[in-house]
A = this chain, B = another copy of it.
Amino acid sequence: MADFEVGEVARALHAVRDEWRDRQKRSREPGGREFPSRDALAGILEGLKGVLFPMRLGPPDLRHESEDFYVAHTLDAALHALYAQVLLELTFNARRDTTETVHVPTQVQAQATEVVRRFARALPGLRRLLDTDVLAAFHGDPAARSVDEVLLCYPGVLAMIHHRLAHALYGLELPLLARIVAELAHGQTGIDIHPGARIGAGFFIDHGTGVVIGETAVIGERVRVYQAVTLGAKRFPVDGHGVLQKGLPRHPVVEDDVVIYAGATILGRVTLGKGATIGGNVWITDDVAPGASVTQASLQKAPKVPA
C-alpha cells in the first residue's frame, strides 16, 4: 500500500547533511548545538511588553493596585528567561570559533549576568522613550482617539517597542538576539528596522508596511515616516581588495522634525536636514537642506533648469 520509501529518503537526507557539514567544516560529533530560540524570545517579549505597559499590554484583568506584583514577577521571569538566551548566544559565539567542545564557563555566566542586569536597568528609560513614540503617534494621526488605541492597534508602535528593546540588546553586543526581536516585529508588521539603527524620541511610522531602516541610520527627534520608506545603503563599501567593510556608516542621517512620505527611498550616508519634507516615491542619494521640501515634481523640474 502507501509506501513512501521513507527509509531511503531519510538516508539520502543524511548524506546531504554530511556533505554540508563537511563543506562547512562542522563537526559531526554527538551532542546538541544549542542556539537561541525564536519561540523563547517571543515569550520574553510578551512578558516585557506587559512589564512596560502593564495596564494595556499586560493581562486583561490586571488592576492598578496589583500592578507592582505583576510587574516584579513578570520582569523576574522574563529576565531569567533572557539570561538563558544570552548564555546561548555567548556560548554559540565561543563555539563558532573552535571545533572543540565548549563548556559554559563561569566567566560566560558572569558576563551574561552583567549583560542582563544592564538591560534591566535600561528598561525604565526605554519606557520613557516609548511614551514619546506613543504621543507622537497620537498627535500624528488625526484618526487616533486615545493613547490607549495607539498602543493597542498601531503596527508602528509595536515595531518601535521591539526596536527599542532590540537596540538595547544590540548595544550589549547580542546581535543575534537583537535580530530575532526585530524579525518578530517584521513578521507581524512588515516594518524592518535593523537593531543597530539609532532613533530619537517621538518617532512615528504610519501604516508601515514595507518600511526598511538600515543598521547605521541615525534618526533625530520627532521624525515621521510613512509606509514603504527605505533608509538604505547605496552599495556596500569594499576595501582595496574588494572585501566588504563592515560597520562603516552607510545609511542616511535624518535630523529632527523631518517628515518622509510613502515610498520615498533615501540611500547612502546623506543627511536630511532639520525640518525637511520628503515627498512620496522620491529617490534621494544626496543631502537635503534643512527645511527643504523635495517632491517628485520638484525633482522632475530640477534638471530642467540647467538643461
Contacts and interface: CB of A to CB of B under 8 A. Distances in A.
Interface of A: 1-7, 9-10, 12-17, 19-20, 24, 28-38, 51-52, 54-56, 60-77, 79-80, 83, 92, 96, 109, 113, 116-117, 120-121, 123-124, 127-128, 131, 142-143, 145-149, 152-155, 175-176, 179-180, 183, 186-190, 192, 194, 207, 209-210, 212, 215, 227-228, 230, 232, 236, 244, 246, 262-263, 265, 267, 280-281, 283, 296, 300, 303-304, 307
B281 A10 contact: no
A192 to B, nearest CB: 5
B13 A127 contact: yes
A28 to B, nearest CB: 6
B14 A71 contact: yes
Given A2-B80, A80-B66, A75 B33 contact: no
Contacts of A29: 64
Contacts of A176: 145, 149, 153
A211 to B, nearest CB: 8
B232 A262 contact: yes
Nearest to A183: B153
Given A1-B31, A244-B142, A283-B296, A124 B230 contact: no
17 contacts: A4-B113, A5-B120, A13-B52, A20-B131, A24-B147, A38-B153, A66-B73, A66-B76, A69-B75, A92-B146, A145-B176, A153-B176, A155-B186, A186-B209, A281-B281, A283-B296, A300-B303
Nearest to A232: B262
Contact of A210 (B7, B61, B73, B209): B209
Contact of A10 (B72, B147, B265): B72
Nearest to A146: B96
Given A73-B74, A155-B187, A227 B230 contact: yes
A68 B10 contact: yes
Given A4-B116, A152-B38, A209-B190, A28 B64 contact: yes
B127 A6 contact: no
Contact of A281 (B52, B79, B265): B265
A3 B236 contact: no
B60 A37 contact: yes
Nearest to A237: B142
Given A1-B65, A2-B116, A37-B60, 11 more contacts: A2-B63, A3-B113, A10-B68, A16-B127, A30-B64, A30-B65, A66-B77, A73-B74, A145-B175, A153-B179, A187-B189
A239 to B, nearest CB: 12
A134 B33 CA distance: 18
